[in-house]
Amino acid sequence: MDADNKLILSTPNTDLEQEYQAYIAEFAASGEPAIFYRLPDEDFAAFVAQLEREERGEGLPDWAVPQQTFWAVRDGRIVGILKLRHRLTPALENYGGHIGYAVRPSARGRGYACRMLALALEHARALGLRRVLLTCNPDNHASARVIEKNGGVRDTDGIHPDTGLPHARYWITL
């Protein structure tokens, strides 16, 4: 297992532009949906500034809530991306939850997701959250294990708003 104390959650910054581009290129090449990353506009600094505004809750659509974006970095390489939402809407309580994360395909199976979530829970505590909700596909056994290793207890299933299929909902008490 590679995940150790060398993994940090970094706030997005322009110093990691090339690494972020490599991260999203790897996801795109794998054919996975672009759920946990966004392609920046041509101006990477503007993209980073937008992520900072999202954290402050500025200029959000009506359905959105303030959220922090973290890049999980080890030895200068982005191995994952994590989003921490500061609160839930009824829609997020059904699907999405407080925390979403993804690990780049070439870095999977090394314990990064588990460490990323543990670090995110520290940030959630600092926000004053007493418990957090995470959701995943019921067939995503790896994600379910990550959540359970971090104290997640499965609750009732929610319904995916696009597919109508159930998804697993987990609460972690902080």
The pLDDT of 61-87, averaged and rounded, is 94
Residue 82: its pLDDT value, please?
96
Give strand ranges (E) for 1-157: 8-10, 67-74, 77-85, 99-103, 131-136, 153-154
**Which pLDDT band holds residue 2 (cuts at 50, 70, 90)?**
low
pTM of the model: 0.91
Mean pLDDT across the stretch 44-51?
92
Where in the chain does DSSP place strands (E)?
8-10, 67-74, 77-85, 99-103, 131-136, 153-154, 158-159, 166-173
Rounded-to-10 torsion of CA 21, 22, 24, 27? 170
CB contact set of 86 (below 8 Å; sequence gap of 6+)? 57, 65, 66, 67, 68, 127, 129
Residue ranges per structural domain of the chain? 8-173
What six digits make up the tokens of 6? 């060398």
- Give the residue-averaged pLDDT of 86-111: 92
DSSP 167: E
**Alpha carbons 169 and 155: distance in angstroms, whole number:** 5
Architecture label for domain 8-173: 3-Layer(aba) Sandwich (3.40)
Of 40-44, 72-76, 89-93, 139-143, the one with minimum mean pLDDT is: 40-44
- A 10 A CB-CB count for 30 gives 11
